Structure 1
Amino acid sequence: MSRPTQRDGTQRDGTHALASRAEDAGLNAAATADSIWLDGWLLRFCDAKAKRSRCINALAPGRLPLPERLALAQARYAAHGLPLFVRITPFVPPGLDEGLAALGLGRIDDTRVMLQPRLASLGPPAALPAELELQPLDGAAYAELIGQWRGTPAAQRQAHATRLTQSPVRYEARVLRRRDDAQVLAAGQWACEAEFVGLYDVAVTPASRGQGLGRRLCEHLLAQAREAGARIGYLQVEADNSPARQLYARLGFSDAYAYHYRTAAGAG
């Protein structure tokens, strides 16, 4: 029997409180040095690929009328040469999504936050095949690798590297590679804060997909995070990324809440 849900999609049996804590952990993991507070909104300006590091997070109702607050925020983003994105979660002040839609901001990037509240249930990961090995990478090297795979411009790679190396949250990155030629087949990283661990930037090269490497990598990442004290896992994944969502479901993750962005037409 399915559990009752609230209008925001989170469950009423305590999962809402857990989801709220995961949201806080995700905000901290995406922290940037370049940010300001504007009438209840946290504005971030890191010009990396991930919108969560260069968007508005609405954390409090504020006092200014919405059009005025939006205009002030727009001026800030224009000064940084960035488009404006407002991240809409179940935790934003009531009516914000509808208000932004009425002002002409379109909806993009339907995303799910998935939770695994019992990481200990996964047990130890299976041993890797003899021909494979895990290798750690520092934040700068990892940002460069993922940026190359995604075709990210050099400036965004550098911004990503800066955010990782200056993060107030502990990040650990690993690549799965062949021993004989050191070719990297898959990569991922985790961000750990208290008992929460987030999986970020998990990727498998196109030629290596369909071999279970993504699951092997995630199992080892989560095992390392458990050794660091993590007990609850979270991640963010696009709603239409069925292969990734199926992988995470096999690891015990399930949908906790959804979010999307509001932005001016064409900015997405």
Structure 2
Amino acid sequence: MRAAEGFTGRANSTLTCGDPGVPIPEALRAVQAFARDHGIKPTAHVVNGSSPEAAVEAAGWRVDLDHPGGAESLVMTGPLEKFAEGVAESRDLPGWWELTAGSEVTAAQRHVLGSGGNVCFASLTVEGTVIAAVRGAVVEDVLHVARLAVRPSHRRQGLARRLMGELAGWGLEQGATTCALQVAEHNEPAIRLYEELGCSEHHRYRYWIPAVS
């Protein structure tokens, strides 16, 4: 069970992975109680086709079609050596946070993006302005990629590809061999980019919420 003041779906949902040790309806009631205690929407992070999925639906939950990030996301993975080029420098710049998290950065946002292993805040700048940013975290031999963003004024210039290449180079230096990332199913340009970098779909997941709040 995860709560972070509403910042990101994954950090504010309960991962349904394996047997909870109690009947699913009881486990989902615990999810709702946890959400109430933390002031967030009760949400279950469910892998498509997993054993809990049918039980979650049978308990009266539904897919959150109004989720800000989209109803369904892909988890993609790929070897870093295929697209590594250069080595990113980790720089905790105000512009990095403004581009990836917004102008008012909260303690929860800093915790979510700053924790989870060996973290890199990679960016590209022009005259002191961050124009592209991405976050990477190495856990064991996997580079987890998140928050890739390019300013609208600088898109379609290959900056996302360049930044991913530099982040992959950083990941290799930290002992990672594989990357893992999440992308909304409707974000076709991002999916195409990751496919061109050698990534492929590993699985999909959706967020489920109670049908009656």
The alignment's TM-score, normalised by the length of structure 1, stands at 0.69
Give the stretch that moved more between structures: 81-90 or 240-249: 81-90
* Matching residue within 112, 127, 139 for 2:74: 112
Match of 1:50, SS?
A: coil
Question: Corresponding residue for 1:78?
Answer: 36
Q: Is 2:83 the counterpart of 1:122? A: yes
Q: 1:209 corresponds to which letter in structure 2?
A: R
Q: Is 2:136 the counterpart of 1:136? A: no
Q: 1:239 corresponds to which letter in structure 2?
A: E
Question: Corresponding residue for 1:13?
Answer: none
Once residues 125 and 180 of structure 2 are traced to their aligned partners in structure 1, the CA distance between those partners, rounded to angstroms, is 25
Q: 1:260 corresponds to which letter in structure 2?
A: R
Note the residue ranges of structure 1 that are not aligned, 5 or more in a row.
Answer: 1-42, 128-133
* Matching residue within 2, 5, 14 for 1:56: 14
Deviation at 1:219, TM superposition (A): 0.7
Give the stretch that moved more between structures: 70-79 or 196-205: 70-79
Structure 1 residues 81-139: Cα deviation after superposition (integer angstroms, max 9, x where no partner): 111110111585x2x212222333221321101110x32233534x9xxxxxx763339
CA contact (8 A) 1:143 1:158 kept: no
Q: Is 2:163 the counterpart of 1:163? A: no
Question: Corresponding residue for 2:169?
Answer: 223
Deviation at 1:258, TM superposition (A): 0.8
CA contact (8 A) 2:84 2:166 kept: no
Question: Corresponding residue for 2:54?
Answer: 98
The alignment's TM-score, normalised by the length of structure 2, stands at 0.86
**Bigger relative contact order (CA 8 A; separation at least 6):** 2
CA contact (8 A) 1:48 1:157 kept: no
Match of 1:44, SS?
A: coil
Once residues 246 and 84 of structure 1 are traced to their aligned partners in structure 2, the CA distance between those partners, rounded to angstroms, is 32
Q: Which has the larger radius of gyration?
A: 1
Q: Determine what percentage of the aligned residue pairs are the same residue.
A: 26
Note the residue ranges of structure 2 that are not aligned, 5 or more in a row.
Answer: 65-70
Q: 1:80 corresponds to which letter in structure 2?
A: H
Match of 2:106, SS?
A: helix
Q: 2:36 corresponds to which letter in structure 1?
A: A
Question: Corresponding residue for 2:68?
Answer: none
Question: Corresponding residue for 2:5?
Answer: 47
